[in-house]
Structure 1
Amino acid sequence: MRTTNHLHLIAASEDLSHDIQRFKSYTAKQIIAHLEQCHSAKLLELLAFFKRAHKQDTTYQVWEAGSHPQIIESEVVMRQKPDYIHQNPVKRDYVDQPEHWRYSSARNYAGQAGLIEVIRAWCVTREAGASKTAFPSWSLGTSALLVFYAGRRSRLGLN
């Protein structure tokens, strides 16, 4: 069985750093609860092994600290990012087609039902000669639209 070890995400928020931290906290709690419910001792042992020594308030480490943001400054880049993200499991030989990857928004983009709601409508607006990428239903304020990579590649040695 191949193990996935990272996440690609296109997101926008008034306080993106804070919201990414909340996302990681919530998902870590849910993952740990699921592993405990399923009595997945081996995986829990691995997550306990990777816990940072200075973190006294937790038993397990699901996510690496930090993230690796990349700003999306143009429509060209905004069109490239979903394609790159969708091709990632294909390039890693997990699936033959992007839509076959259960956890990919490629299903949504192909008109199929995905696991979560994906906002596919975005636009480029012009403000005083500058372009700004925006999602119609989200208020970006001064926040930038970023692509995040968060993962365990370097620590688990999974490539």
Structure 2
Amino acid sequence: MKEGYIIREQDKAHFITATVVDWIDVFTRQNHRDCVIESLKYCIKNKGMILYAYVIMSNHMHLVIQSDDGKLSDLIRDFKKFTAKTILDTIQTEPESRREWMLERFKKATESHTRNKNYQFWRYGNHPKEIYSSKFLWSKIEYIHMNPVRAGLVKNVEDYIYSSASNYINDEGLIEVTLAEIPKVNVLKNSSFMKYIKE
């Protein structure tokens, strides 16, 4: 299947979405969420990933990322390949009440594609959107951080552990992200971006 969205400017920051096949709620399990966290940390330290924002939901994740060596497509591919393999291994070796059902779904997903022979974990495509302005960047950061609030998981964005909201609001988080520059206050009057500005 040909990807509907492609990354033309490999050195630019992009908003991407990675979704588990069939929207399977894999990330309701902490060990699978932690796998993604550790992989992001590794990519930041060793593969030139610049991570501005992220959120891990039950069956998908959103990121605003950039590659410091201009190879964003390769970076995303490697990240998804590694996390898929690691999580699939975990599903098969650690206690998981839904193991058979999940593996059956991941196996079935390979029938319509030839790339994966055994299991397909992530859906193809990332729907990348190039970050072309500060306003667009902040609209995506806000969208990412509001996901758990909209899902009814937390009341305040900074209370959701598996996102970068607390990095921006409390200067702490599971991953050390690259904080995007806060737009000028006069641009943000009556904007929800104001919550990111320290009193």
Return the TM-score normalized by structure 1: 0.66
C-alpha distance in 1 between matches for 2:179 and 2:106: 34
- Report how many aligned residue pairs link the two structures: 123
| 2:158–2:170 CA contact under 8 A, matched in 1 | no
Unaligned runs of 5+ in 2: 1-23, 26-57, 184-199
C-alpha distance in 1 between matches for 2:172 and 2:153: 20
| 2:110–2:116 CA contact under 8 A, matched in 1 | no
Paired residue secondary structure (1:12): strand
Label 1:97 to 1:123 Cα distance change in 2 as closer, same or farther (>3 A).
Answer: closer
Q: CA RMSD in A?
A: 2.4
Q: Do residues 27 (structure 1) and 86 (structure 2) align? A: no
Paired residue secondary structure (2:88): helix
Match of 1:12 in 2: 66
The structure where helix makes up a greater share of residues is 2
Q: Do residues 103 (structure 1) and 103 (structure 2) align? A: no
Q: Do residues 37 (structure 1) and 93 (structure 2) align? A: yes
| 2:154–2:160 CA contact under 8 A, matched in 1 | yes
C-alpha distance in 2 between matches for 1:26 and 1:122: 30
Aligned positions of 1:1-159 closer than 5 A: 3=25, 4-13=58-67, 14-40=70-96, 41=99, 42-55=101-114, 57-111=116-170, 113-122=172-181
Label 1:86 to 1:18 Cα distance change in 2 as closer, same or farther (>3 A).
Answer: same
Unaligned runs of 5+ in 1: 125-159
Paired residue secondary structure (1:24): helix
Q: CA deviation at 1:48?
A: 1.9
Q: State the percentage of identical aligned residues.
A: 37
Q: Deviations over 1:64-84 (max 9, x none)?
A: 111101111111112222111
Q: Deviations over 1:108-127 (max 9, x none)?
A: 11225422221114589xxx
Return the TM-score normalized by structure 2: 0.54
Q: Deviations over 1:40-99 (max 9, x none)?
A: 323222222322444365311110111101111111112222111100111122222222
Label 1:123 to 1:112 Cα distance change in 2 as closer, same or farther (>3 A).
Answer: closer
| 2:84–2:121 CA contact under 8 A, matched in 1 | yes
Paired residue secondary structure (1:44): helix
| 1:28–1:63 CA contact under 8 A, matched in 2 | yes
